[in-house]
Amino acid sequence: MAQVEAAPVPISAMEALVGNLPVDARIPFIQFNPNKFGIGISGWDNKSLTGAQLVAGAEAIIAAAQEAANEAAQSASEAAAQVELIGEKQDLIDAGIWDAQAAAAQAMQASGFVGAHSTTAMVPGTGSKSFTLTELDVAFQTDQFVIAISDAVPSAWMLGQITAFIGQSLTIGVTDIGPGTGSHSDWKIMLSSPRGPAGANGLGDLSSANNLSELTNKRLAKDNISLNTTVTAAATTDLENATGDVVSINGNTTINAITLAAGHQRVTRFNGSPILTNSGTLILPGNADIPAAPGDVALWAGFGGGVVCTGYLKANGTTLATKTASLAGAATVDLGSTNAQFVLITAPASSITSLGTTVDGTIKFVQFQAAHTLVNSGNIVCLGNEDIPVANGDLAIFRFVGNWRMVAYSRVSARPLNVKFDTIAAAATTDLASKLAQSLSITGTGQTITSFGSSGLAGEIKACSIAAGNILTHSATLNLPGAQNITTGTNDTFIAKQDAVGTWRVLSYMAGSTGDFLESDVASPGSTATNGVSLNVTSLTLTPGIWLVWGNIGCAPSVQSLYMRGGFSTTSATLPTGNGLGGYSGLNDSGLNIPAVMSVGMRRFSVSANTQVFLVGRTGFSSGTNSMFGYMAAQRLK
């Protein structure tokens, strides 16, 4: 059996026992200290007290004090035995000790005794605590154990040893305190004993400090307090007062609110088909109403501002679909203004430049029900970064990431989404793939283009038209037909492919339009000739492509021509070299002094840049004067 030390009991107010002594027979002070039991009787004198009376009075006081102490010790021993029988739990042993001490104190109080009092305001706590006593000449000594108890709140107490005691100043080194809190100034201070040794934990007992860690079967304990219960659906459905954590909800009444305290959770299963209404205090997945069905399961958590559905499982295995909303066509159609994930954009037909704003990550599925135009902008990023003419029935998916980005688009006609024609300015590096459009118009003149850029992906193909007056320069990264530079002309077009990033090849180049026709006619007498000197009769400028050139030439001598020559040349005032060269003709000694005309041979020209072709003539004469005239024409073959 655990030993319980009886609290030393102060005995300093036995006036009830000695009150019968005559006042004039009181002595100044009697000190008795058997086993640290103290007796202090002040205010007595001995004017008429005999020695026998003094001894008899002292013996009576000592006997009464000893009897009270014995009763206190017996009470403490019985309390300790009872605690050990309960299970020797430390907390219970402590309680028994304090019960025993309280019994001892009550026994002493029954005898009319209190050790000391203090009105010093004090909050119970360990460490050094100083009190000012209201009594004088109290029989306390250093190292004695004392307990200070609040008269109004007995659970507020402090136990420790006296570390200093002078006059009415008492200092206690507190080692143990009771559960009572708050500041108190009604202290009773009495002799006590040190705290007894800790006993063994009692079976089945719990301590708040251990947070249920003593439980043998924690899962079973949790199950015992998580029993399934049933409530009926109501406009405000009370889950807080349901007797279990797992709750079945009967009925079909629409639920607009749920009562659940902050930090509490419930799992519910619906036996009916109520509609759950999303609101600021009943927050549902997708911020949309949920039509519940029998067998559906939901998880709820209470927060300070409302109740949140943190999970919802449909009994039929389908995903939780949110409702559909309709928004009218306008310049701004605010998709974020509705909680629905599926949105119908209806008439009137509009040019839509904004879809509003919302939380990043929001996804909306949109069906158009009128012929709108989606304008690619800072708020709407269309596929291909181009405006999209929308048809009734077209579908689109948008995701908000600072702006609305089109993820997918499906035409009701099932035709692909074509990106419209675009333009790009001619420059040394004309970066064709920087434009998403497949059909481009290269604008501007006077540029020498050495590269088509390195944007985009290998394999991209661009169909381009280019303004006249630019030069395409052949290189390893800009492969041109015939490995020749091209001077662009009016209405020139070409198709280019990016074989590798930064390396382009012109697959075909068409200058102007097939069938283009040019001609020039100089009537007689034409230009004055010098004997044996070539001159330009006329000329045509050919744009890049393949041309067929033909014509005739004549001279008008004043006396007689000895010979006449003619031909087509790309060099000014220079006949083609040698007889028989394409486009060269001659006539010798006409013997006439009248104009003579001859045909000039047809010649084919393939030019990659704007090229001037001359009709060149030469005549010989010995006297008089002579002049030359003629006609030339050209037709584009390619």
Query: If you average pLDDT over residues 352-368, what whole number do you get?
Result: 92
Asked if 463 and 493 touch (Cβ cutoff 8 Å), the reply is: yes
Q: What is the 3-state secondary structure (H, E, C) of 302-328?
A: EECCEEEEEEEECCCCCCCCCCEEEEE
**DSSP code string of 330-377:** -SB--GGG---SEEEEESSP-EE-B-----TT-EEEEEE-S--EEPPS
- Given a cut of 70, whether residue 386 has pLDDT beyond it is yes
Among the ranges given (189-198, 221-230, 503-512, 568-577), the one the predictor scored with the smallest mean pLDDT: 221-230
Tell me the C-alpha distance between 152 and 576, whole Å. Answer: 134
Asked if 133 and 189 touch (Cβ cutoff 8 Å), the reply is: yes
- Strand (E) positions, 370-470? 373-374, 380-381, 388-389, 395-400, 404-410, 422-425, 439-443, 448-449, 461-466
Task: pLDDT band for 338, please (50, 70, 90 cuts).
Answer: confident
Residue 272 corresponds to which tokens in the numbers above?
């009916």
Tell me the C-alpha distance between 149 and 530, whole Å. Answer: 144
Query: If you average pLDDT over residues 39-49, what whole number do you get?
Result: 37
Q: What share of the chain in percent tops pLDDT 90? A: 45
Q: What is the mean pLDDT of the chain?
A: 80
Q: What share of the chain in percent tops pLDDT 70? A: 77
Q: Which burial class, exposed, middle or buried, applies to 576 when counting CB atoms under 10 A from its CB (0-12, 13-18, 19+)? A: buried
pLDDT digits (tens, 9 = 90+) for 200-258: 655 556 777 777 777 888 777 776 766 678 999 999 999 988 877 899 999 999 999 99
Residue the block writes with tokens 């079967």: 217
- Given a cut of 90, whether residue 417 has pLDDT beyond it is no
Query: If you average pLDDT over residues 330-334, what whole number do you get?
Result: 96
Among the ranges given (67-81, 356-370, 437-451, 583-597), the one the predictor scored with the smallest mean pLDDT: 67-81
Q: Say what the pLDDT of residue 37 is.
A: 36
| 163-167, 351-355, 457-461: which is most confident | 351-355
Nearest CA to 276 out of 310, 231, 236, 243 is that of 236
Residue 418 corresponds to which tokens in the numbers above?
């074509």
Distance of CA 515 to the CA centre of its chain: 64
Nearest CA to 396 out of 442, 447, 446, 355 is that of 355
- Given a cut of 50, whether residue 54 has pLDDT beyond it is no
Residue 154 corresponds to which tokens in the numbers above?
């007995």
Question: Which amino acid makes up residue 310?
Answer: T
Strands 545-555 and 596-607: antiparallel
DSSP secondary structure code for residue 472 in this structure: E
Tell me the C-alpha distance between 174 and 151, whole Å. Answer: 18
Q: Say what the pLDDT of residue 48 is.
A: 39
Q: Say what the pLDDT of residue 51 is.
A: 46
Domains parsed from the chain with CATH numbers: 1-202 (no CATH), 224-313 (2.60.120), 324-410 (2.60.120), 422-510 (2.60.120), 517-636 (2.60.120)
- Given a cut of 50, whether residue 420 has pLDDT beyond it is yes
Would you call the peptide bond into 154 cis, given omega within 30 degrees of 0 as the criterion?
Answer: no
- Is residue 535 within a helix (H) or strand (E), and if so which, with residue range? strand 535-542
Asked if 567 and 616 touch (Cβ cutoff 8 Å), the reply is: yes
Tell me the C-alpha distance between 370 and 393, whole Å. Answer: 8
- Given a cut of 70, whether residue 570 has pLDDT beyond it is yes
Is this structure's pTM higher than 0.75?
A: no
Q: Say what the pLDDT of residue 444 is.
A: 93
Among the ranges given (53-67, 282-296, 335-349), the one the predictor scored with the smallest mean pLDDT: 53-67
Nearest CA to 139 out of 6, 33, 27 is that of 33
Kindly list the distances between the CA atom of residue 384 and the CA atoms of 381, 397, 438, in Å, as whole numbers in the listed order.
Answer: 8, 15, 10
Task: pLDDT band for 591, please (50, 70, 90 cuts).
Answer: low
Alpha helix positions (H), 407-538? none
Q: Say what the pLDDT of residue 202 is.
A: 53
Among the ranges given (368-372, 427-431, 466-470, 477-481), the one the predictor scored with the smallest mean pLDDT: 466-470
Task: pLDDT band for 172, please (50, 70, 90 cuts).
Answer: very high
- The CA-CA-CA angle for residues 517, 523, 529, to 5°, reads 115
